[in-house]
Amino acid sequence: MKNTNVIISGISGQDGLFLTSELLKNSNISVYGVTRGNNHEDFFTRLSYIDPDVNFSNIKMVNIDLKNLETTKQFISEVKPGKFFNLTGPSSVFESIRTPKLANDINKIFNNIVDSLIIEDNFCPFFQASSSEMFGLQSNIDSVLNEKSSFNPNSPYAVAKYDNHKKIQLLRNTYNWPICSGIMFNHESEFRTTDFLIMKIVFSAFEISKNLQKNLEVGSFTLQRDWGYAKDYSSAMNILLEKKMMDDFVISTGNSTSVKEILDYSFSLFNLNWKQFVSLNPSLSRSEDPITIKSSPQKIKEMTGWSAEHNIFEVVEKMALYVSTK
């Protein structure tokens, strides 16, 4: 009988939310969500926002420390997952710079998970959330990044992700394991905090429109990124494991957008001209970050049929609606 238990480590983030919603479209699946806290109210409130008909009885939230090998082994032995999605770790580069230990935890948790699965002889389909941050600065600034591009990680977060990415390739070859790495480019949703640029812009535009905030500072107007929607990327994760893919895949939209364009559109949603309220503060940017990032999701499209359904302006609209109704 097919094992329908699925573990999502790092379930409480935006990717975990949308992935849970996607998985529970199959009523036979039980999701075991690993989280660091005991307060799950926000998670279930947001999950209901995504899908009012979601069946909460098929979700089991588990508060365990995956940095502890014995605890991890016991958990995996009890659940016997048929799929594993590892989304654990800080999603902010700045967070990893402020607290380097968080980046070290990325490696420790990954090692404990894969070691526990190997001990259990459970080579279930496994998704590892890798990051486009692994690419860092490229020698050719016009490079379109794909699976064959060179890696040049330049933050604690990127280095940790790269270390795990290399180990995935070894595990795949050694054990013939359907273990898949999704090299995920920037992706946003209505559930982002204002620690992230686009939600910071959208929320500030809303606050300024209500006279609750006077202005906004950003680090760059010209910076360009390939921004997508977390729901689309969670769908990509699910498809990759459904197809038991054993490879690395860039997950992106293939389109880059500038901060200026985001500012213009976000403020227009609240009938504002961003130029009247936004100023430049270069100290908010990292000099080692590339100005423009371009990517190609051609491989995942050709091998699975997946492509992003939303552009970043549609995501901004969802963000604006969400902050306006909170």
- Domain 5-188+229-255+294-310: give its CATH superfamily: NAD(P)-binding Rossmann-like Domain (3.40.50.720)
pLDDT score, position 137:
86
The interaxial angle of helices 100-119 and 156-175, nearest 10 deg, is 10
Banded model confidence at residue 117, pLDDT cuts 50, 70, 90:
very high
CA distances from 271 to 209, 260, 266 (A): 8, 16, 9
Backbone angles phi, psi at 279, to 5 degrees: -125, 165
The structural domains of the chain, with segments of one domain joined by +, span: 5-188+229-255+294-310, 197-223+257-291+320-325
Confidence label for 1 from pLDDT (cuts 50, 70 and 90):
very low
Model pLDDT, residue 251: 98
pLDDT at 289 over 50: yes
pLDDT per residue as tens digits for the range 170-189: 999 999 999 999 999 999 99
Q: What is the mean pLDDT of residues 26-35?
A: 94
Question: Over the chain, what is the mean pLDDT?
Answer: 93
Which residue has better confidence, 98 or 173? Answer: 173
Q: What's the pLDDT at 16?
A: 96
Whether 78 contacts 60, CB under 8 Å: no
pLDDT of residue 37: 76
The CA-based dihedral angle spanning residues 284, 149, 310, 89, taken in that order and rounded to the nearest 10 degrees: -60
Question: Does residue 265 carry a pLDDT above 60?
Answer: yes
pLDDT score recorded for residue 92 = 63
Strands 187-188 and 224-225 turn out to be unpaired
Q: How is domain 197-223+257-291+320-325 classified at the architecture level of CATH?
A: Alpha-Beta Complex (3.90)
